[in-house]
Amino acid sequence: MLNLLDLAPADAEKVLREFAVAHGHQAYRGSQVVPHLWTRPVGSFAEMTDLPAAFRELLARHFVLPRLELVTQQASTDGTRKFLFRMADGQAIETVAIPDDDRMTFCISSQAGCALQCAFCATGAMGFLRNLDVHEIAGQVRELALLDPPVKATNIVFMGMGEPLMNWKAVEHVLTILNDPKGFGIGARHITVSTVGWLPGIEALARRKEQFRLALSIHAPTDALRQTLMPVNTKFPLADVIHAAARFDRRVTFEYVMLGGVNDRNEHADQLAQLARECKAFVNLIPLHPGGAMGFTPTPPEAIAKFARRIRTLGVEVAIRKSRGMDIAAACGQLRVERLRRGAPAGTQHDRQVDVA
Ligand code: SF4
C-alpha cells in the first residue's frame, strides 16, 4: 500500500487523480484528498467527509496515512511544549513547539539518534539509530496540527535530533512539503536547516531555488577547539565550512553554545567575529541550560552579554537566544533520555543525562 505522506504534494495529487479515474471516479476527487494530507490534515481517510463514503473506503484499501504515536508531552510555564513521538518500529523522536509573539516555531527531528557525537549533546550520546523517513519528519508537523486544539507551525527549524543534511534524501522532500502551498505552506525564509557543516548537504541546499535558511553550528572558532567538541570537524574543517557558507547566497546564522571556560574568552569572540564577517553571518549565542551538559557549565549571563558586545563592536550582528523551556526537558534529546531511564520507549543503551541549549 502506498504511503501518501512520503510524497510531495504534486506527486500525491498526480497519483490520486490517476487512481480516481482508474476506479471510475472523477479526477477532482483525487485532488480533494490533498488538502487533508498536510494543509488541513485529518487522521484517516474516514475523516475526509467531503468525499463520498465509497471513495474513502477505496482509498483506505490502497493507501496508508501512517501516524506517529504521541507518547508524552511536557509544557513549560513559558508556553514551550515538548513532544515525544514513537514511530512504527518503536524508535522515539522529539519535537518542540516554541511560541513567541505571533510566531510558533517547531524544532523538528530528522534522525533517531545521531552519529556525530558532539560533546555537549544528549542525542549524540545516544549514538545513531536510523534516518527518519519523509513522513516521519513532516509527520511531526502534521501530528501537532492534528491535536485538539491544533498547534500550527509558522516557522520550522531543523534543530531537533539528528544532523538533517546527513539525511538529505528525506529532508529535501520534507522541505518541499513544508513550503508547498498544497503542503504546509510555510515560507522558505521561515524554514531553517541547521547543520554542523556537512558540506555535501550545504551544497545541495544551496542548489534549491527556494530561500531556505542555513544555520551553522559553529560552537568553537578554531579547529583545535572545535575538534575537541565536535568530532565532525576532522572530516569537514572549519575553513571549508566557512568557505561553503560564504558561497551560500542567502542568510546564514552561526549557532554558538556558550560553554563556561571553554569557548567564551575574548579571543574566542574576536575569532568568531572574524569568521562571521567572512560569510556575513548573523551570530546567535545560546546559553547552556543551567544544569549544564555532561562536563560543561554555563557561561554566566553577564559574561555572555560582554561576549556579545565584543562581537557587535567588531561589526557583526549578534543576538543572545532566549532560553526556552527551562523548567522542562527542552534540550535536544533530553525528554527521550528521561523516558528511557524510566524504561520506555526502548532503543538505546546510552542514557547519560546531558543537556544542550
Ligand atoms: S548537536 Fe546535532 S549534530 Fe551534534 S550530536 Fe547533537 S544532534 Fe548530532
CATH number at residue 191: 3.20.20.70
114 ligand 1 Cβ < 6 A: yes
**pLDDT score of 340:** 52
Q: Are residues 48 and 151 in the same domain?
A: no
258, 298 in Cβ contact below 8 A? yes
In a domain, residue 347? The reply is: no
pTM higher than 0.85, yes or no? yes
Using the predicted structure, report yes or no on whether residue 316 has a pLDDT greater than 60.
yes
Give, using CA atoms, the residue closest to atom 4 of ligand 1. 118
Domain count, the chain: 2
301-307 average pLDDT score:
97
DSSP letters along 278-303, please? HTT-EEEEEEPPTT--TT--BPPHHH
CA distances from 21 to 29, 242, 272 (A): 9, 52, 59
Is pLDDT above 70 for 335?
no
Neighbouring residues of 247: CB distance < 8 A, sequence distance ≥ 6: 206
Give a yes or no: residue 355 inside a domain. no
For residues 90 and 45, state if they share a domain.
no
**Structural domain includes residue 353:** no
- Give domain status of residue 20, yes or no: yes
Atom of ligand 1 nearest to the CA of 160: 7
Q: Are both 249 and 286 inside the same structural domain?
A: yes
Active site residues: 94, 332
Distance CA 233, CA 31 (A): 47
| Residue nearest to ligand 1 atom 3, measured at CA | 163
pLDDT in tens, 269-288: 999 999 999 999 999 999 88
Any atom of ligand 1 within 6 Å of the Cβ of 162? yes
The CATH number linked to 8 is 1.10.150.530
Final residue of a structural domain among 12, 41, 64 = 64
Domain identity same for 120 and 39: no
171 and 312 inside one domain: yes
Same domain, yes or no, for 150 and 45? no
Mean pLDDT (the chain, rounded): 90
Pair 137, 256 in one domain: yes
Task: Tell me: do 311 and 188 sit in the same domain.
Answer: yes
**Pairing state of beta strands 81-86 and 69-75?**
antiparallel
* Residue 46 and residue 120 in one domain: no
* Interval 26-34 mean pLDDT: 98
- Final residue in a domain of this structure, among 18, 34, 64: 64
The phi-psi region of residue 304 (left if phi > 0; otherwise alpha if psi is between -120 and 50; otherwise beta) is: alpha
Q: Is residue 351 one of the residues assigned to a domain?
A: no
Show the domain range for 46: 2-64
118 lines ligand 1 (CB under 6 A): yes
- Choose between 309 and 119: higher pLDDT: 309
- pLDDT for residue 349: 26
